[in-house]
Structure 1
């Protein structure tokens, strides 16, 4: 209502299709660009009515958006097949300047590996990492960043799997510089996610040149190859264990990959580059 009656904009840019229910109102005055970050109805187990809500809003977005963008190539390819209308691929990005300017006030003398996600839910794969480390009798500290309160049953599972391991749950970081410093000081960033459209957390890890092991899901391999990160077969704990052991025996190789990941990020995923791509989309509608 504020946008409709109190302000006049050149256009509106809506992120996430689950907010598309407001498009009929916005379209009374504005041209609208919609950016999709995921299709949650496909990869997370919701109640039927929640799935219906996501699906309906996605259809509204495709019907009413003046231009539709997607943050990953695999997501764009799905939309191309389902809706047969133009979808512009514009990736997620990170602020390289923020990533480089780390805050040294956050430090930890004890070596640790790191898992991080905003919401710790089953699709992020923390249970896979913990089961793998249990099988390895892993002794190094594991720091877990993120909100563990989303699904009580999953929280209980994670706490049970962490028994016998040196796990520190540090909660959700709202200070981006402090988060990036924690990532940068890790020996290794492990990202066993089962589904993403394009993970900003993965990009942020690459931005501080930390060695990365991540699952080989399409969204991850669309960004990085084995030249820049160590990919393991998604949900394959034996392969994940092999990649972790290989890291500890070949650290110089891992840091070389981390440098190459940063260089790719700097070239293709900086906000300066991405802003120019959105500028072209916006200009075409104005």
Structure 2
């Protein structure tokens, strides 16, 4: 009988699938990123048969001894990714792994674990950024990470996405920034067409060449603003191409109909060629006012 281990996926939908020792499971892995993919309904786990393949050399292997402990947490399926390239990669959908080769910036408090000789230092935003944060509530509390090792970052269990900028720019809601290359220029800027009176319409901009990891509360949608006039709720908006033209629309009378918030609602309108990232969440629902005496 083949022992429990990671083996080439017999369904051919993924690189690897976990064999429990008795049957194939829903646990899969692609390029070191683990996920869950149920087996086809027309083929149950036993119907796929026992594997005859040798262990793949890229199968994730649990590090360290398990000390006689068994179970899914120590059998290898949740082991650290085997990716060896420097820079960011996904450990899983909600956890960023950065193999430190050059300094990068990360959200303060986002580190959940690290291995190696890694240093963390407070990164001030400068007087101009501090003033904007005080006036608008938008801004980033950052730490500079450098050294040699692996750093794991997460924020509130949100999903993590990695983008690579090539002499380009992106505007991101500060709450959705997890980490980015220290080589990128960053600032807190007012959304064009917005005002302080509109509230919360200041974003973090990143420009240059490097990587950025952002988080979303659920699976986002990426809209092509060049296809049609595009509008997004300011509370659900995550990021957009920095070259898009923006303006602010207020729907005071329809605020209770088209958004989750109570009272006045704001949408950001986009024009030009580029993308807009929106998450399926607008933050906590505002409870109705109590009228009790």
TM-score range, shorter chain: under 0.3
Bigger radius of gyration among the two: 2
Counting helix residues as a fraction of each chain, which structure ranks higher? 1
Name the structure, 1 or 2, with higher relative contact order (CA <8 Å, separation 6+).
1
Counting strand residues as a fraction of each chain, which structure ranks higher? 2
TM-score, length of structure 2 as denominator length: 0.22
TM-score, length of structure 1 as denominator length: 0.23
